Structure 1
């Protein structure tokens, strides 16, 4: 990050219900002013043993002195981990049912504006499912945040406690109404009602699936967006927000701490992570399980403060964008340009340590630019092998808004790379190739050579490519191919879209309308063929490819969430490819096309 610039001053403020947080423990460390948070984090990181490590170790030591922790073990079979102890005054209990005494491993936690705002729960085991839904009904809960996959590293973390259709759990009937799948989380809407009772309640489950099996998320952008969406969806009059992972600690504690600290930063101008975590752990042991999680909370709050909430509801986008592009005569800049400055300030520089595979001697000859290499975690290793051929190719797999690993961004292939390119298309199960340049452009340092057959069948290493059809106009050349691995029976039908209206030395396409037509053509094909991956390449760099990735994601966001968030979309791409959408011109182009898509979307019945 280059300098401390913040967008959070543009956030609309809601009134704070309580002044300060009711801490229950002695305050060992002072709260940090939000304006000083970046400097504070840098100092803590450089302090080594006397920084984050010292703070976290004092938290762990302090937990051993917690009083009135439950020693009950009557229903130990219902706990994922017998070491999780809960303060009895914080325990969520249920009325007895048949021979069940109502003892469950769930506990209340406060927010800064409301007591018992959260219920921290473990992931239900099969014998706990009825208890879980009983608790949802009893406490008038409307939202669930789930921060674990059902199975991780071969271990069952949580049973599937919801139905695919309708199912009765004891005297409660749960019906799945709708599922919305995104790259980082899934939203499920349920109807919950008592059997033989007409009263129904709508329950929303937000299932965050991007937390890795070890450690913490690579970045906080998706989790922060989820927290804001949950806040907006959870009615003020509803009961506690239920948060669970596997044990109800660790990830659950991180979520609760982030939610509360984001509010504290907004309404009080300070963050007090240490004392809040200390209080949280006095209610339920080990709420923050590692020093890495403790540091992650600080970094996530800093990102939340610097970036703010940049999402815009679709019904306000046109008027908001009009204000954003208005130039202030005093500063001679617009809100849009300031937003782009913030985006650049929070974009990390490429880290060679994260691209170790690309630097291996046998792989370096495939890299056109050493300043733009794929991170190891986003690298699609080739499976289809011919003899001793290398499994590496210079490509990066990126998420769209609704689909994980939706894009494969790669340079335009040289003639010697054509076989690897088609191996990439086949192994990644791609349904579309989007080429954003013309062939043999003399002004380019890397002339774009043709890597596909114009007719008949051609073999590229172990891959056979058969020409099917071609349609062409002044904007797009649309070709269809059958792609087959000669050693396998399966084949792919792949469309190749060559966009003809983006000059090599231009930052953006010639015509917004023609680019919008490309997006719509690709959208229709992807919907028809089942949303396979999309390969994107262009001669003049990945910044241009980033424009296409960003706009496809924004179109998905408009359809599924009725929101536009260009900032978050580009930042998410930049976490893995820092040069995505690299100029203000390209950034504004994303806004312009988003507006054009919105107008089309509204005029055509929001299809």
Structure 2
């Protein structure tokens, strides 16, 4: 039996183990996106996994088996988090250094890198500050936004503290700043989609966009800014290159803001770089407008149809 659980990068298996005529049900959790000798991008999924495993572990007497490739770096970090989460809830002091040293008396190099040791502290800090943020599905109907306003504001304010991997404004490259409406809001490099352009007007493949996952699918979305006049070609290259079938536009066009340009045409075909864009369908649905475009490329035979839903009232 196999199912997705908690986050898209965690997979759950429930194998039936048979030995000596006895069948036992096992539970296996696989954290799929933790690179060797490194750390996950966020602490939240790993904390969620630890909490989920704890719910199962209390019903069993046997030891919890944890492994990675070598059984020291990622394994030691998870065991450290798993154990010290209980310490945070029951004691006034916590000694991550001491616990890692204790683990190393049994197995060398547990928590293998300085980055993993820092990440262990980040996880513990997030767990301590955030507390329990989960709302059960059966309670969502009775959840009061008004009564929980302070809790929600506190949770939101914590998000900025947990994101430690955004580029600083003073680290922005000139070509990135030129293509970004707000140079301080850059995509995480490992999450940024690359674009291919054969146009001399767009010599680099940077675009202010990033992949993000849903709870059930990796890279389910591409989040990006509304195109600048200088990045319209990049925008459509992204859509054509990554075969995006649907665009959701949430901002109105602001005639007072020259950077917020109209990146499509409502009449004749519109040429952008080596692509030709043509509006083939348009219908006003009241609070949004549904348009459909046809994109063709000079050097490729593939013709692509793209739907766009434009929300008119969110500003």
TM-score class, shorter-chain normalisation, is: 0.7 to 0.9
**In the TM superposition, what is the alpha-carbon distance from 1:187 to its structure 2 partner?**
2.0
- Give the conservation status (yes or no) of the 8 Å contact 2:167–2:184: no
1:299 aligns with 2:113: no
Match of 1:354 in 2: 167
Give the alignment partner of residue 299 of structure 2, picking from 451, 464, 487.
487
Match of 1:403 in 2: 217
Match of 2:228 in 1: 414
Match of 1:500 in 2: 312
**In the TM superposition, what is the alpha-carbon distance from 1:213 to its structure 2 partner?**
4.0
Normalising to structure 1: TM-score of the pair? 0.47
RMSD of aligned residue pairs (Cα, Å): 3.1
**In the TM superposition, what is the alpha-carbon distance from 1:279 to its structure 2 partner?**
2.1
Match of 2:252 in 1: 438
1:268 aligns with 2:91: yes
**In the TM superposition, what is the alpha-carbon distance from 1:261 to its structure 2 partner?**
0.0
In terms of fraction of residues, the more helix-rich structure is: 1
- 1:340-399: per-residue Cα shift (whole Å, max 9, x none)? 234314514998982689833344322222332333333333223223623222323333
Question: 2:211, 2:190 → 1: CA distance?
Answer: 9
Relative to structure 2, which stretch is displaced further, 467-476 or 219-228?
467-476
- Give the conservation status (yes or no) of the 8 Å contact 2:181–2:228: no
Kindly indicate whether structure 1 or structure 2 has the higher relative contact order, using CA contacts under 8 Å at least 6 residues apart: 1
Match of 1:423 in 2: 237
Point out where structure 1 has 5 or more consecutive residues left out of the alignment: 1-176, 327-334, 505-607
Give the alignment partner of residue 343 of structure 1, picking from 149, 153, 156.
156
What secondary structure is seen at the aligned counterpart in 2 of 1:409? strand
Match of 1:219 in 2: 42
- 1:391-435: per-residue Cα shift (whole Å, max 9, x none)? 222323333333333332322223443212101212233222111
What secondary structure is seen at the aligned counterpart in 2 of 1:354? coil
- 1:311-340: per-residue Cα shift (whole Å, max 9, x none)? 111012233x22x522xxxxxxxx332332
What secondary structure is seen at the aligned counterpart in 2 of 1:298? helix
- Give the conservation status (yes or no) of the 8 Å contact 1:356–1:376: no
1:180 aligns with 2:4: yes
Match of 1:308 in 2: 131
**In the TM superposition, what is the alpha-carbon distance from 1:249 to its structure 2 partner?**
1.0
**In the TM superposition, what is the alpha-carbon distance from 1:310 to its structure 2 partner?**
0.4
Match of 2:264 in 1: 452
**In the TM superposition, what is the alpha-carbon distance from 1:223 to its structure 2 partner?**
1.0
Question: 2:6, 2:307 → 1: CA distance?
Answer: 24
**In the TM superposition, what is the alpha-carbon distance from 1:258 to its structure 2 partner?**
0.3
Question: 2:76, 2:49 → 1: CA distance?
Answer: 15
What secondary structure is seen at the aligned counterpart in 2 of 1:283? coil
Question: 2:164, 2:298 → 1: CA distance?
Answer: 38
- Give the conservation status (yes or no) of the 8 Å contact 2:17–2:26: no
- Give the conservation status (yes or no) of the 8 Å contact 1:183–1:404: no
- Give the conservation status (yes or no) of the 8 Å contact 2:214–2:221: yes
Question: 2:8, 2:44 → 1: CA distance?
Answer: 10
1:474 aligns with 2:295: no
Match of 1:205 in 2: 28
**In the TM superposition, what is the alpha-carbon distance from 1:183 to its structure 2 partner?**
5.7
Change (3 A) 1:388 1:465: closer
Give the alignment partner of residue 146 of structure 2, picking from 325, 331, 344.
325
- Give the conservation status (yes or no) of the 8 Å contact 1:185–1:206: no
- 1:154-194: per-residue Cα shift (whole Å, max 9, x none)? xxxxxxxxxxxxxxxxxxxxxxx233277652323334143
Question: 1:417, 1:464 → 2: CA distance?
Answer: 16
**In the TM superposition, what is the alpha-carbon distance from 1:500 to its structure 2 partner?**
1.7
**In the TM superposition, what is the alpha-carbon distance from 1:478 to its structure 2 partner?**
1.6
Question: 2:271, 2:7 → 1: CA distance?
Answer: 35
What secondary structure is seen at the aligned counterpart in 1 of 2:182? coil
Point out where structure 2 has 5 or more consecutive residues left out of the alignment: none
Change (3 A) 1:462 1:355: farther
Q: How does 1:584-603 map to 2 (within 5 A)?
A: none
Q: Which has the larger radius of gyration?
A: 1
**In the TM superposition, what is the alpha-carbon distance from 1:498 to its structure 2 partner?**
0.4
Match of 1:169 in 2: none
- Give the conservation status (yes or no) of the 8 Å contact 1:181–1:403: no
Match of 1:138 in 2: none
Question: 2:20, 2:39 → 1: CA distance?
Answer: 44
